[in-house]
Each structure stands twice: as C-alpha cells, then as structure tokens.
C-alpha cells in the first residue's frame, strides 16, 4: 500500500509535470526546425530503450523511452549530441543539404536552439494567464498588517499601516512580492521604501535567516520579513484536536473581540493567543451574521527560535483564510501573467546567481527526487499550487538551458554568436575542448543533485 501511495501521490504528478514540460521544450525546437526546412528524424520523450512510438508522414519517429528524465529532438545533419559536424555531414548531396541542420544559416540554427527555452518561458506565461482567468491571482495589498516584535521589520523601522512601494530596487504592488524578495535574501541588507503619512521613507531591512524543515526532512534557509500582511481575523481552517476545535470555532468565523477588546487583524488575535498559554480567553465572533460567544484556552507550545533560545507560547490551532483572489479577463490575465513570470524570472535568476557567488549552498540544489517530492506536495495542496509549480519549473528549465555552458542550449547559442562575429565557426579543437568542459560541468551538476537527493532521502542532512 505504501508503494501505491508513493506512486499515486508523488511519482505520477512528477511524470505528468516533467513529461509535459519536456514535450513543450522539444516541441519548440521541432516547430522552428520544421519552419526552417530542417528534417527532424526523432522526437523522443525520455532516453534509453524505446517503449512505443510511430513514424509520421514527414519521416519523424515520435517515441516514448524507458527513462522519462528528459528528451531530445534529432535533426538531420546535426551530427552528434554536441551539434558538431562529422565527416558524414560533409558528404551530403545538395538535396540533403537543403534539409540539413548544419547547412542552415547561423541565424536559423540559433533560432532553432533558442526556441526550446523560449517556448518554456511562453508556456509559463500561458498557464499562469489561464490560472488568473479561472481561479484568479493572489492579490494582497502591500500594506503592513503587523510588525513582529524583535523581527527584521521592527529593527528596520517599519510600522503597522506602512504601504511598501519598493523593495531591493523592485517596485511593489502586492504583499506576495515583498515576501518573495525577503525569501531569497536571508541576512542581506536591502533598501525598502514605504509610504507613511502621504510621504515616502526609505529604510535598510535585513531579512532574518530562518531554517525551515519540511515533512520530508529537507532543510532550507529562507529570509523572513518580520512583518505580516493586513489580514482580517477570519478563521480559514481549524486543526483537529486543537484548542480551537474543542472550543467550537469553525471555518469562516470572524473574531471581532477577545476579552471584550475589539480586534481588526489576524495578527492581533495571534499576539493575544501567543502571550496567553493556558489562559482562558473569551471570544466574540460573527458567524452567518450572528454574534456568538466562545471560550478558548490556548495550549502550550515550546520551540527554539533562530538563535537557539527556548520559547513558550500559546496556540489555539487556527489558520488564516486564503488570500484574496482577483480574476482577470483574457487580456488583463495575459499581462498579469507576464508580470508574474518576470517576477519569477528575477527570483530564479537570483537563486542561480547565488549558487555561483556562494551565497547559497550547493546542497540546496535538488534533483529529480526533490522535484518529485515537491510535485507531489503541490498536487496534494491543489490544482492551483500544482499549476503554479509547473510554471516555476518551466521557467527554471528555460533559464538553466540558456546558461552559456556547452552541452546546453545556451552553449550552442554562445558558439553561434562567436560564429556570427567571426564569420566562421570556431575551430573543431576549440569546440571539442568547450564541449568537454561543458560535459564535465553538466555531469558534475548531475552528481551533486543526485547526491543531495540521496542525502535527503536517507535523512543525512542533519538536524
């Protein structure tokens, strides 16, 4: 039964996500190759032995292979996996050269190679646009609902009611964007601009590093803002066997007062509850338009903060209601998706850059097992989270493939750029040397991510 659960909850969502994204990527190469008159011999999803396939009327073999961890398009005249000419290419007839990849202009070859990552990017935009048209876009105003005592926001000088207009050089429209920026910059001093009393003020804010462990035992270090969005005190969920469940709180209840004192934000509720473990609290709530009185006793919860200091707080076991969603029409959804994709691009590019500069550890890089875990987790949360994750992975595939590393699309584009400037390709020895370096880098990365996955799988990443 456990195997069936893993298969259904993790392996199947991963295969759906990865197969679709690989198909989209390779379809980009295929479509532009065909448009430029190149004969495509093989369109493969996966590597290794063929499981099944068929030949179309243009002579392309479409097939699924046994190892579903990638795919490729083999074009006529693309001599080998490194896209370098071989002796066979030099002996092609004039008719064959018309449909040969190698004999196309440098601009055509660059367009064919660039099309794969470009379609991954466009796919991310399109599925987000569809999401924003149907389910809507999370849209919480960038207003500080509360400042956590002792947190990064308080240390920087932020106050409740501040409207954040810029953070780390990025214009801000939604609170979700603020959280995204903080997330990727733990321990880094960032410029933040807020609007307060009709005037803009600038501060330096350093997101607090916070180590988070997920249910699979994986640990990640994120930046914490130390401030929360303006959230109404509406109960979004009630945990089983919690103090709230025992008191009779229900989803949709709006807490309007605690011990006779009015509350207007969820953070006010949280502050009172955290400060009163095992203290009887009298709640006044609105339920279906009726005023109801309840008594709840927060349970004791002990933990260690980021500095390792033991702390004890009260908990009643409720969560906030989902953030407000804003549905868009087709055109507005498209432009919202473009903006969201650009935000994800900045986040992904920042993360990749941090890997190269040492600001993010190599152990943070995940491989297929990590992606499978996250695919399953997102699928279990719901279709919204899964589609969002798919867009993020599609975008990551685009950016990684565009890195100027031989063996990747970006490496080919680098060579084509040099060829366009020189008027002729690099010498065969120079290309071979570059491809060997590229292969070493790609294989090294594969070893690192596989090792990280195995460490996560067997819980060797420590406490």
Q: Which residues are catalytic?
A: 26
Identify the helix (H) or strand (E) that includes residue 334: helix 330-357
Residue 274 backbone dihedrals phi, psi, to 5 degrees = -60, -35
> Is 154 in contact with 228 (CB distance < 8 Å)?
no
DSSP string, 240-301: TTSHHHHHT--TT-EEEEETTEE--SHHHHHHHHHH-TT--EEEEEEETTEEEEEEE-PEEE
Residue with tokens 């260690």: 304
- Residue 423 Cα to chain centre, angstroms: 40
Note the helical H segments in 358-462: 368-381, 383-401, 409-422, 428-457
Ranges of beta strands (E only) in 31-111 are 40-55, 61-75
CA distance 16 to 81: 26
Using a 10 angstrom Cβ sphere, with 0-12 exposed, 13-18 middle and 19 or more buried, the burial of residue 113 is buried
Task: Give the other-Cβ count within 10 Å of 225's Cβ.
Answer: 26
Q: Is 154 exposed, middle or buried (0-12, 13-18, 19+ CB in 10 A)?
A: middle
Class of residue 107 by CB neighbours under 10 A (exposed 0-12, middle 13-18, buried 19+): exposed
Nearest partner of 120 among 405, 410, 399, judged by Cα: 399
CA–CA gap between residue 372 and residue 13 (Å, rounded): 7
> Within 10 Å of residue 198's Cβ, how many Cβ atoms?
5
What's the longest Cα–Cα distance across the chain?
90
Question: What is the full DSSP assignment across 339-354?
Answer: HHHHHHHHHHHHHHHH
How far, in Å, CA of 206 to CA of 152, rounded?
A: 6
- DSSP-derived letter for residue 362 is G
How many residues belong to the chain?
A: 463
Closest to 104 (Cα-Cα) out of 75, 80, 82: 75
């Amino acid at each position: 039964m456990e195997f069936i659960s893993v298969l259904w909850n993790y392996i199947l969502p991963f295969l759906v996500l990865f197969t679709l994204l690989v198909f989209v990527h390779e379809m980009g190469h295929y479509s532009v190759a065909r448009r430029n008159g190149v004969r495509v011999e093989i369109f493969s999803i996966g590597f290794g032995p063929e499981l099944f396939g068929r030949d179309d009327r243009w002579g392309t073999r479409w097939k699924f292979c046994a190892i579903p961890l990638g795919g490729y398009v083999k074009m006529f005249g693309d001599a080998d996996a490194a896209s370098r000419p071989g002796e066979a290419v030099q002996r092609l007839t004039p008719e064959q050269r018309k449909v040969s990849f190698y004999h196309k202009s440098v601009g055509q070859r660059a367009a064919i190679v660039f099309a794969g990552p470009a379609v991954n990017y466009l796919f991310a935009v399109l599925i987000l646009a569809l999401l924003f048209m149907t389910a809507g876009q999370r849209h919480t105003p960038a207003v500080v609902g509360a400042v956590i005592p002792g947190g990064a926001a308080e240390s920087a000088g932020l106050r409740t009611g501040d409207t954040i207009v810029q953070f780390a050089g990025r214009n801000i429209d939604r609170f979700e964007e603020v959280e995204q920026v903080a997330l990727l910059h733990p321990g880094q001093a960032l410029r933040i601009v807020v609007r307060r009393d009709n005037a803009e003020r600038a501060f330096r804010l350093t997101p607090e590093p916070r180590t988070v462990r997920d249910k699979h035992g994986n640990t990640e270090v994120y930046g914490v803002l130390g401030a929360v969005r303006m959230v109404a005190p509406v109960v979004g969920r009630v945990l089983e066997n919690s103090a709230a469940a025992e008191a009779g709180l229900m989803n949709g209840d709006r807490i309007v007062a605690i011990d006779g004192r009015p509350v207007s934000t969820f953070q006010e509720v949280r502050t009172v509850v955290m400060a009163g473990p095992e203290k009887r609290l009298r709640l006044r709530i609105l339920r279906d338009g009726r005023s109801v009185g309840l008594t709840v006793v927060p349970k004791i919860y002990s933990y260690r903060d980021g500095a390792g200091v033991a702390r004890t707080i009260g908990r009643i076991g409720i969560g906030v209601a989902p953030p407000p969603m804003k549905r868009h029409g087709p055109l507005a959804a498209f432009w919202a998706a473009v903006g969201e994709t650009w935000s994800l691009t900045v986040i992904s590019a920042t993360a990749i850059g941090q890997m190269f500069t040492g600001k993010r550890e190599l152990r943070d890089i995940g491989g297929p097992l990590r992606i499978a875990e996250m695919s399953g987790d997102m699928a279990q949360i719901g279709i919204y989270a899964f589609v969002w994750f798919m867009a993020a992975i599609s975008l990551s595939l685009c950016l990684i493939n565009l890195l100027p590393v031989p063996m990747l699309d970006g490496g080919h584009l680098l060579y084509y750029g040099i060829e366009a400037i020189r008027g002729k390709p690099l010498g065969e020895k120079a290309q071979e040397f570059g491809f060997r370096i590229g292969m070493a880098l790609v294989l090294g990365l594969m070893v690192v991510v596989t090792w990280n996955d195995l460490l996560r799988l067997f819980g060797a990443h420590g406490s």
